[in-house]
Structure 1
Amino acid sequence: MDKRPLIGIMVTNRNRRKRILDLCQGYQNQNLRLYAFTPADIRWNKRRIIGLSRKNGKWTQRMFPFPLVVYNRCYNKDSMTIQLLEKVIGQNKCFNTINQFNKWDLYNQLHQSSLSQYVPDTFQYNEVNITELLDKNNLLFIKPIYGSKGASVYRIDRTSNDDIHISLHSLAPRVICRKNESIQEKLDVLLGQKNYLVQQGIQMSQLDRQYFDIRVLVQKGNVGQWMVYNITCRVAYERFFNTSMCEHVYDAPEILKRILSPEKATEILQSLNEVSVMAAQEAETLMGSLGELSVDFVLDKQSKLWIIELNGKPQKNIYEDLKGFKHKDLYRRPMQYVYYLSQK
């Protein structure tokens, strides 16, 4: 009888099964039996799951028993499937319960915590007057409550002559609102019926006249504790503010030492480590069991850190261009955490 822990990796659709199995199986250093499945593959009444596995180089699809642990790789905002799985396999045996984060709920969680000083003022779009907010702050960002990769994030910038520029991705305005026109009306047409947030704009530090953010990757490994594993800077293209469409990715220490004194760079890196772990703990309190996420920061012109958002399913391809970065560790650590949970 095979005594290796049986682990399930849940993906959105069957086309994704081979790739994620290749990555996780190739980089695991624990002795695990892995199979991949979709929510639709679960046969609740039979207590079985249709899964894909690879053994001796051959792919096989067959019925599996329920696993000991589930690693959720679906990008989901609903925890129902996870809750049902945990009724069968046990509490806290699935992780990444919800990884498509509700930005409004997360803002409130962070704002009410000891991290409030790092969070820009944020409001629900349909509950505020944009003109009044611009009177207090000439720069605002409007973003979907559910969103990723900078999609539909608008920059609202009031210029010195009181025109208001509405931009998407680049600094060049998509819409110009003259001072005798209604900004609210123009935005209502632009945004439609989606749920949006309005966030206080931060005057960001720049690197050679290009905007950058700081992304901290936080994962759990073989001891089940949150740890920071990588801190990078994503540098946007010139004349762009969306760092998700980045021109370069660098190790953060390299960039911080170019724009800050050595002492200040060390202080910022220490804060990034501490604050990111605390943010991950707050997210887990709100979202349920998690095993990995990224925290995005910007540095303002006074060298103060601000948390811009958290991502429950971090982009892993941004690390491919980093010199000396062990890409395999991105997938090895979740497998270490899987093994840790299987032994509890």
Structure 2
Amino acid sequence: MKPIGIILDWAIIEGALKGKSNYENLMYYVESGRRLGMEPIFFHPRLVNFATGTVRGYVWQNNRLTPKRVPIPPVMHNRVLSGQATVRNGIKRLSKHGKLFNGIVVRNKEAVHRMLWKNAQLQRYLPHTVSFTRQAFIDMLGKYRVLYVKPVVGSVGIGVARIERDGDRYRFTSSKIRKVLTKPELIAETQRWVKGRRFIIQEAIALAKYNGQTFDLRVSVQKGESRQWGVSGMVCKVANSQNKLSNLSRGGQAEPIDEVFATLFTKEQAEHVKERIRMAAIAIAKQYERNFRSLADLGMDMGVDHQGNPYLIEVNVRDQRYSFFKAGELEMFKRTYHTPMAYARTFY
């Protein structure tokens, strides 16, 4: 059995040791490994001893995780997303000990937007996005009826505000706040929301709706045994009617893409739209990879308008994949684990 290092947040490993379930299903790594002749070694960067070139990891034995000290695996899939300098440095050092994919990347949404915008062919997929300043906010209010204000680094909808013009008033909506404000009140409220931190302002695309609610898509874009980018699965995330957010942690609902698209398009149209999404996602992944060569596993939040035109909302460099499970798409869910394992196998 060839070793494959799976680098995880300590909370994930700790939960698995206690038998608790979370968004990472470690058994899917194990099952894929058995089919590929590989043994997953689960570990956190702080468990690595660089002086001896070993890691105190965990392997699946006797139906449970068992500690085992092994040499640093020659191939590693990084699933840790941390701002801690010691953890980031550990990941960088590990990348010098073998093939490590999904290493350290820039997560700044504004920087990612600029990076993608350089490719003229991708601009059709990108909503208008600018850094937050008071004047930029006023300018964007004049251009668009609906905006999102987001932290430049963040995930699962934390810190996101949706702003919608309604006559001469504005609806300010977040996961916990719902207010109707005048324009001066809105500007003051939004500046309080930002609190001097780094945020972006993003045009809200007029997305298609399912049962009266907007939705976006989680698109898993991964490299597999061909070492080429492909789409492992797509699933819809329907927005919560209260806070207008599709994040599952903020009350959004995951639904199979075929069920949602069947209410919007003919079968032939739906297949065409899915192909357009697939092509856009792969093109975006290729552009992102030009700046970060280690990338091999991404989760993109994308949307479609009523004509089926795809748009990028956000790139997630540590796709939690849980949307597939929540939508009942078990085969897609398993595929998102197997594909990067198959990619890892190619380095032996």
* Fold agreement, TM-score > 0.5: yes
The answer to whether 1:235 aligns with 2:238 is: yes
Unaligned runs of 5+ in 2: 18-23
CA distance in 1, matches of 2:179, 2:291: 37
CA distance in 1, matches of 2:135, 2:113: 16
CA distance in 2, matches of 1:186, 1:322: 36
The answer to whether 1:270 aligns with 2:269 is: no
Pair 88,110 (structure 1): closer, same or farther in 2 beyond 3 Å: same
CA distance in 1, matches of 2:246, 2:329: 22
Per the alignment, residue 123 of structure 2 pairs with 116
Pair 44,203 (structure 1): closer, same or farther in 2 beyond 3 Å: same
CA distance in 1, matches of 2:259, 2:65: 43
The answer to whether 1:307 aligns with 2:312 is: yes
CA distance in 1, matches of 2:190, 2:242: 22
1:240-292, CA deviations, whole angstroms, 9 ceiling, x for partnerless residues? Answer: 42111355433323322321244433331111111111111222223331222
CA distance in 2, matches of 1:219, 1:197: 27
Secondary structure in structure 2 of the residue aligned to 1:46: coil
The answer to whether 1:328 aligns with 2:334 is: yes
CA distance in 2, matches of 1:47, 1:17: 25
Matches within 5 A, 1:332-343: 332-341=338-347, 343=348
Pair 266,9 (structure 1): closer, same or farther in 2 beyond 3 Å: closer
Per the alignment, residue 204 of structure 1 pairs with 207
The answer to whether 1:189 aligns with 2:201 is: no
Q: Which amino acid aligns with 1:88?
A: H
- Alignment equivalent of 2:111, drawn from 98, 102, 105: 105
Per the alignment, residue 11 of structure 1 pairs with 8
Secondary structure in structure 2 of the residue aligned to 1:320: helix
- Alignment equivalent of 2:43, drawn from 37, 53, 56: 37
Per the alignment, residue 159 of structure 1 pairs with 166
CA distance in 1, matches of 2:245, 2:135: 24
**For this pair of structures, how many residues does the alignment match?**
332
CA distance in 2, matches of 1:300, 1:58: 46
Q: CA deviation at 1:58?
A: 6.0
- Alignment equivalent of 1:254, drawn from 250, 256, 259: 259
1:173-228, CA deviations, whole angstroms, 9 ceiling, x for partnerless residues? Answer: 6233324x253322121222332110012122212211111221112222221111
CA distance in 1, matches of 2:8, 2:328: 30
1:288-311, CA deviations, whole angstroms, 9 ceiling, x for partnerless residues? Answer: 312221222222244432111111
CA distance in 2, matches of 1:53, 1:323: 28
Q: CA deviation at 1:321?
A: 4.2
Pair 192,247 (structure 1): closer, same or farther in 2 beyond 3 Å: closer
CA distance in 2, matches of 1:284, 1:100: 11
Per the alignment, residue 296 of structure 1 pairs with 301
Secondary structure in structure 2 of the residue aligned to 1:194: coil
Q: Which amino acid aligns with 2:281?
A: S
Aligned residues of 1:210 and 1:239 also touching (Cα < 8 A): no
CA distance in 2, matches of 1:240, 1:57: 42
Aligned residues of 2:46 and 2:90 also touching (Cα < 8 A): no
Pair 76,178 (structure 1): closer, same or farther in 2 beyond 3 Å: same
Aligned residues of 1:141 and 1:200 also touching (Cα < 8 A): yes
Per the alignment, residue 64 of structure 1 pairs with 70
Secondary structure in structure 2 of the residue aligned to 1:222: coil
Q: CA deviation at 1:56?
A: 4.4
* Percent of matched pairs sharing the same residue: 24
Per the alignment, residue 177 of structure 1 pairs with 181
Q: Which amino acid aligns with 1:147?
A: G
Secondary structure in structure 1 of the residue aligned to 2:73: coil
Q: RMSD between aligned alpha carbons?
A: 2.5
Normalised to the residue count of structure 1, the TM-score between the two structures is 0.87
The answer to whether 1:54 aligns with 2:63 is: no
Structure with max Cα Rg = 1
The answer to whether 1:81 aligns with 2:87 is: no
CA distance in 2, matches of 1:242, 1:302: 22
CA distance in 2, matches of 1:128, 1:23: 49
Q: CA deviation at 1:32?
A: 1.5
Secondary structure in structure 1 of the residue aligned to 2:215: strand
- Alignment equivalent of 1:226, drawn from 218, 224, 229: 229
Q: Which amino acid aligns with 2:48?
A: I
Secondary structure in structure 2 of the residue aligned to 1:87: coil
1:73-96, CA deviations, whole angstroms, 9 ceiling, x for partnerless residues? Answer: 11236754333122222xxx1011
Per the alignment, residue 157 of structure 2 pairs with 150
Q: CA deviation at 1:128?
A: 4.4
Per the alignment, residue 136 of structure 1 pairs with 143
CA distance in 2, matches of 1:33, 1:311: 26
